[in-house]
Amino acid sequence: MKKSNNAAKISKYMSEFLYDYAPNFLTYSPHTIRSYKEALTMYVMYLESMNITPNTLDLVHFEKNHIEGWIKWMTDVRNCCPDTCNVRLGSLRVFLQFLSSKDVTFMYLYQESKLVKRKKCLKKKVQGLTREAVAAILDEADLSTKTGRRDYTLLMLMYGTAARIGEILSIKLKHLNLDGVKPYVHLHGKGGKKRTAYLLPRAVSNLKGYIREFHGTNPNMEDYLFYSRVGGEKGMLTEPAIDKRIKKYAVAAHEKCSSVPPDTHAHQFRHAKASHWLEDGINIVQISFLLGHENLNTTMKYLDVTTEEKGKALATLETESEKNMPKMWKSDSNSLFAFLGLAK
C-alpha cells in the first residue's frame, strides 16, 4: 500500500519540530527538548501497538479519540502517573500546534487536542530546603580543588537567583554584567523567555574570582560560564552531571545536618529560595516575577512552604530508561519509528 501524502508531511514536520523549531524557537533547555521527544516517542509506541504503519498513518491517528486512547494506554500499560500523562499531553499539543502552523489541514487536530481533558492530580506541596540545609550542602564543596570551587560557585548562583538548572547551564559570559551599579545576569528560561536576575556583592566577588580562574584575563564572551571540556572544546555541562554532584554533596551533608534530604536535586534550590523570599517578607507577586512565572497561580504553591513545614516531594517524571524502553527500535522499513525519524 502506498503511503499517504499526509504521512510524509507528518514525518517531515516531526523531524523539523524536534531538531530545528523546538531547540531554536521554543526552549534552550535540553530537558524540555528531551520531554518533547519522549512524548512523541511514547505516542508512536501507542500507534505501533495499534498496528499503525507508515503505509496506514494519516491525520485520523492524531484526532481526539486516539489521543484519549493514548492516555488510557499510558495509564494502563505503561503505568504512568497522572502528572506524567499530563506532561506528555502538553508536549503533544505543542507539536500539534506546530503542525497547524505548517499546514491548514492540520489545524483541526490541535483544536481537538485542546478538548482532551487532563488527568486529575493530587495537589502537592513542594519539598524545600532549609537555610541550614543549603549552607550544609555548599559547605561540602571542597574549595581546595578546582572542581569544588566550580561547584560552589554554580550552586551559590543557582540558589541566589532561584534559577532553573537549565538556565544556569545556559549562561554565557556575555550574559553577565558584574561591573555595573547593579550587577546582574540575563537568564534564558522556558520558551526562550528572558529575564534579569540581580546579584548580591558576595556572588559578584565569587563570580569574578571564578571567571579569572576558569576563563583567564581575556575570556571569550561566547563561552559558557560553567563548561565541560570535551575534545578540547568548552561544551555545556549536562543536568544529570550536576545532579550527580548535588546528590554526592547532599549525602555527605545529611550526616551533619539531618534536614538535608539525601536525594536532593537541583530544582529544590529554586524551591528553597522562593520559600525563603516569602519568609523574608517579599510578597507573592514579586516572587512570581523573580521566578519568571507568567501565571501567579504557578507561584502560589510556594505559599505553603516554610522551614518548619516540609511538604511532600514533587513527583519526578519517570524516565524512559526506568520504564525499560528498548534502546534500539526496529529497523525494518515498516517501522513507524524509523519513518518518523525517531529511530536511533
Q: Supply 294's cell numbers.
A: 507568567
Calculate mean pLDDT across residues 91-110.
Answer: 93
159 lies in the same domain as 300: yes
> Are 39 and 89 found together in one domain?
yes
| CB crowding 290-306: b at 16 or more within 10 Å, else e | bbbbeeeeebebbeebe
Supply the DSSP string of 300-330, one letter for each residue: HGGGG--SS---PPPPPPPPTTTTT--SS--
Residue 71: inside a domain: yes
Cell numbers describing residue 166: 537549565
Q: pLDDT tens digit string along 222-276?
A: 999 999 877 668 888 999 999 999 999 999 999 999 889 999 999 899 989 988 8
Q: Is residue 55 part of a domain?
A: yes
Instruction: Identify whether 312 is part of a domain.
Output: no
Is the residue at 310 inside a domain? no
Whether residue 134 contacts residue 272, with contact meaning beta carbons closer than 8 Å, is answered with: yes
What is the domain-level CATH number for residue 138? Answer: 1.10.443.10
Residue 242 lies in a domain: yes
Say whether both 178 and 264 belong to one domain: yes
Instruction: State how many domains the chain has.
Output: 2
Q: Inform me whether the pLDDT recorded for 207 exceeds 60.
A: yes
* pLDDT for 330: 39
Q: pLDDT of 284-304, one tens digit each?
A: 778 888 888 776 666 766 545
- The angle, 0 to 180 degrees and rounded to 10, between the axes of the packed helices 146-161 and 131-139 is 160
Q: Are 99 and 275 in contact (CB under 8 A)?
A: no
In a domain? residue 313: no
Per the domain annotation, does 11 fall within a domain?
yes
Residues in the chain: 344
Distances (CA, A) of 77 to 70, 72, 283, 290: 10, 8, 44, 40
- Torsional class of 127: left (φ above 0), alpha (ψ -120 to 50), beta (otherwise): beta
Distance (Å, whole) CA 38 – CA 335: 17
pLDDT at 127: 64
Q: Which of 131, 154, 155, 153 is nearest to 280 (CA)?
A: 131
- DSSP output for 145-203: SHHHHHHHHHHHHHHHHT--HHHHHT-BGGGEE-SSSS-EEEEE-GGG-EEEEE--HHH
**343 or 160: which leads in pLDDT:** 160
Q: 276 or 65, which is more confident?
A: 65
- 76 plus 117 within the same structural domain: yes
**71 is in which domain, residue-wise?**
5-123+319-339
Helix (H) / strand (E) element for 288: namely helix 284-291
Closest CA to 148 of 156, 305, 103, 219: 156
Beta pairing partners, 236: 227
Model pLDDT, residue 191: 64
Q: What is the pLDDT of residue 279?
A: 78
With bands split at pLDDT 50, 70 and 90, how would you rate the model's confidence at 147? Answer: very high
Are 173 and 107 found together in one domain?
A: no
Q: Does an H or E element contain 230, and which?
A: strand 227-230
CA-to-CA dists, residue 322 to 246, 280, 326, 337, angstroms:
21, 39, 11, 20
Q: Do 266 and 161 fall within a single domain?
A: yes
Q: Map residue 116 onto helix, strand or coil.
A: coil
Evaluate whether residue 198 is within a structural domain.
Answer: yes
**Can you tell me the mean pLDDT for 6-35?**
85
Judge if 169 and 300 occupy the same domain: yes
Regarding whether 164 and 92 lie in a shared domain, the answer is no
287 in the same domain as 193: yes
DSSP labels, 34-84: HHHHHHHHHHHHHHHHTT--TTT--GGGGSHHHHHHHHHHHHHTS---HHH
**Residue 315: per-residue pLDDT:** 26
- Residue 286 and residue 142 in one domain: yes
105 and 152 assigned to the same domain:
no
Residues 142, 210 within the same domain: yes
243 to 176, 310, 335: CA distances (angstroms):
24, 21, 35
